[in-house]
Structure 1
Amino acid sequence: MQRCLLGPEDLPGSGLLAGLYWLFVRGYLLHTHRLQLISKRAYGPLWKSSLGPYTNINVACPELLEQVLRQEGKYPVRSDMALWKEHRDARGLPYGPFTE
């Protein structure tokens, strides 16, 4: 059986103009968690979003997220999550797998 591997360019999602529209015209800049729910309904559990030079791959399914995390290897490398940590600290929330 042949397995079809997809790259980021094959994923559905919004581009720069659509992203700006949703964030600024529709007012989701401070409510991106709600925008993620809308995007999941539109594109499914895995989609891409672009804003400027950055392309993000969004995973909104626990099973897919587990698969991604298990493939990271023994020493995963993560971005600095200082703003997320500050947000969680201010609200007394624990860190998760991406902020720990």
Structure 2
Amino acid sequence: PIHLHEGMYSVQDFLDLHGCTLAEAELIISGFIKESIRKGYRCIKVIHGRGLRSPNGPVLKSALVKWLSGQMRKYIMAFATAPQYDGGLGALYILLKKV
């Protein structure tokens, strides 16, 4: 889906992971994706932040990309950084597979 990062898909729900630990975020994102698929959603947004308050920089974004590319891959068609007006580098658009 070439236009995902341009915001061509309508975001049907979003999740904000600000303040979550890695362990919390992993459980929350897994449940959110599965529930979104159950509801028939096609495009969701996950706000992970830019890591500006983290002493070692952003940790959630890289972990999220790893989860989406690995264990959650069977549910995901594509993901991309959100457009600047909708979170930019601090958020991802996720296109879910149809079931």
* Greater share of residues in strand: 2
Task: State TM-score, norm by structure 1.
Answer: 0.33
The structure with more radius of gyration: 1
Higher relative contact order (Cα pairs below 8 Å, separated by 6+ residues): 2
Task: State TM-score, norm by structure 2.
Answer: 0.34
